Amino acid sequence: MSPYDLQVNGYDGADFCSRDLTSENFHRACVSMQEDGVNQFLATVITDSVSQLCAKLRHLAELREADPLARQMMAGIHIEGPFLNPAPGFIGAHPPEFVVEANVDDAKRMIEASQGLTRLVTLAPECDPGHRTTAFLAGQGIAVSAGHCDPSLNDLRGAIDEGLTMFTHLGNGCPVTLARHDNIIQRALSCSDRLWICYIPDGAHVDFFALRNYLKISGIERSIMVTDAIAAAKLGPGRYTFSGFDVEIDPQGIARRPGYQNLAGSTVTMSQIRQNLATHLALDENEIISLIDTNPRKAVPVTPLI
């Protein structure tokens, strides 16, 4: 088993979204992830101004280039934002003031800044006029995922026709209260025969009983588990500051910004994911391998970068 985590914002005190990330902290995060069973990962950066995102992407690329272990483990970069839905609930913990409408020019800037490392982009299909950015990214061989979004079913299908292939952390990046029938979770699941559906199996982002139901629809063969880990992963309960934001981790490992109810990433580890899938969902080893190894590699192939 060689787990491949498609969404890691940070780990063990190292914040991948910070321009202050040091080579020492980055290396420690790689070692720590390796100890927890991660074979490869996508370093994930979230919404900021495009100029700041470009600076962060360049910094990550430089850190990776200088570290042999990072070159082995970091298969690329996942850009989550800034092309998201800024409405409350859908935007989640992302700063809405930096959200912009999807456009090819900004996408090109970020891809160039990442020095060829961009492997996955999460965007809101309804914020991508004509799905032009989706089509551009797909044409560059970059996987495009819907997330923090509320497209109509027709809009979601239109994005799929233009190259959308995934859905980011289903059950999150949406309001707590949704319409009973026509909501983003139901729309995404209705397209699961054409999409890879990603989940965060920590029991907080999706209750295990709900995750079991979702998997019955999307199927093991079209589903992927990610950590969505933040820098506080492995640090334990407490209050931390990362990228200028305070985050509180409660005794159950749930991360929130003080004063906010929405979740602010996860602290789950890959080893905990394996245990959760076996214990709470009664999945066997082959099913777990599909969810954390085989399927991620099909959805976002690892291209030799070293």
Q: For residue 239, is it within any domain? A: no
For residue 306, the model assigns a pLDDT of: 47
- Give residue 289's domain range: 4-233+265-299
Q: pLDDT value at position 258?
A: 75
Which pLDDT score, from 0 to 100, does residue 304 have?
Answer: 66
* Counted domains in the chain: 1
Residues near 31 by beta carbon (within 8 Å), at least 6 away in sequence: 69
Structure confidence at residue 1 (pLDDT): 76
pLDDT in tens, 176-199: 999 999 999 999 999 999 999 999
Kindly report the pTM of this predicted structure.
Answer: 0.95
pLDDT number for residue 29 = 98
**Domain assignment present for 74:** yes
CATH of residue 37: 3.20.20.140
Backbone φ and ψ for 247, nearest 5 degrees, come out as -130, 135
Q: Over the chain (306 residues), what is each successive 10-residue block's mean pLDDT?
A: 95 95 98 97 98 98 98 98 97 94 99 98 99 99 99 99 99 93 98 99 95 98 97 88 80 77 84 98 98 98 72
Residue 73 lies in a domain: yes
Residue 246 within any structural domain of the chain: no
Q: Is residue 248 part of a domain?
A: no
Q: Residue 125: how many CB atoms within 10 A of its CB?
A: 26
Does residue 304 lie within any of the structural domains? Answer: no
Q: So what's the pLDDT on residue 247?
A: 82
Q: Domain for residue 247, yes or no?
A: no
